[in-house]
Amino acid sequence: MARGLRYALVGAAIGAVAARAAYTAFTRLAPRAGEEKEPGRWTRTNHRGEPITLLEGPAFVAGSGVAAALAPGLPPRVRLAALLAGVGSGALGAYDDLYGTTKSKGFKGHLTALGRGEVTSGAVKILGIGATGLGAAVLVSKGPVDTLVNGAAIAGTANLANLFDLRPGRAIKVGLLTGGPLLAASLFRDAPLTAALTAVPLGAAAALLPDDLGERAMLGDAGANALGALLGLAAVTKLGRRGRFVLLGTVAALTAASEKVSFTKVIAGNPVLNRLDMLGRRPVDPV
């Protein structure tokens, strides 16, 4: 446990410091949200109708990527898998952030458009994240079945995390609430590799949470996809085959449900989930 704890602390610290440094550098180079004469490439309007920067996403990708490259306790193949999953899905998410449209939404919308011969940015992202997830899985799996299951789980968690990035801090809170138990289990069951792999995105995400909750920045597709992919990769390195099938089934069920049900409405209608969702956030404006 001592070795795993050391690996986790160092990995989280590197991720946190690198993510904050990247965010500071990116925001200094770009105009602050609301200060430019015209909306900038990395500026969006949030749920309140206020300008907000998407540079938190690239900062998370950079911070977690640096941590994956430098954190102790990761064998070369796992380190490469983390870089491929995190940076790859983050780059594809950034592409969708910059060039995506709202014409087609969700898996169904993008795949339907693809069936008509229309290649949307969302379809590029879905196929690309599937490929990077599979590539990462090849590096950490044993046999074709494990590779397919692990690849689908990594890609699925990348997409699922993005579905929660609709309110300040929500995607990061979901990441912390799911990654925290995985980290704890890895420490208590003496799995230092998984502990280090889990701590990397958690440290980077926690360091960026204040700006997310303060509604100054948001993860966007770049950050949310990378966060989900890295946690998915950490999970498949720890879970047995049955556990990975359960993970994949859960991710698939939630993704399918998102096509019909609003997660925001479900969270708002549950007192416990709503309290967690509002923790640290600005009060909701009265209607």
Instruction: For residue 19, give Cα distances in angstroms to 22, 28, 43.
Output: 5, 14, 19
Residue 67's H or E segment, with its range, is: helix 56-70
Give pairs for 240-245: CB < 8 Å, separation 24+.
241/146, 241/149, 244/146, 244/149, 244/150, 244/153, 245/149
List own/partner pairs for 263-267 with CB under 8 A and 24 or more apart.
Answer: 263/163, 263/164, 263/166, 264/166, 264/167, 267/170
SS3 223: helix
User: Which residue is associated with the tokens 């689908």?
Assistant: 152
Domain ranges within the chain, ordered by starting residue: 2-278
How does pLDDT run along the chain (287 residues), one tens digit per residue?
688 889 999 999 999 999 999 999 999 887 554 454 445 788 888 777 888 999 999 999 999 999 999 999 899 999 999 999 999 999 999 998 888 765 556 555 555 655 555 557 677 788 899 999 999 999 999 889 999 999 999 999 999 999 999 899 999 999 999 999 999 999 988 888 999 999 999 999 999 999 999 999 999 999 999 999 999 999 999 898 899 999 999 999 999 998 888 899 999 999 999 999 999 988 866 54
- Counting DSSP H helices and E strands in the chain, the numbers are 12, 2
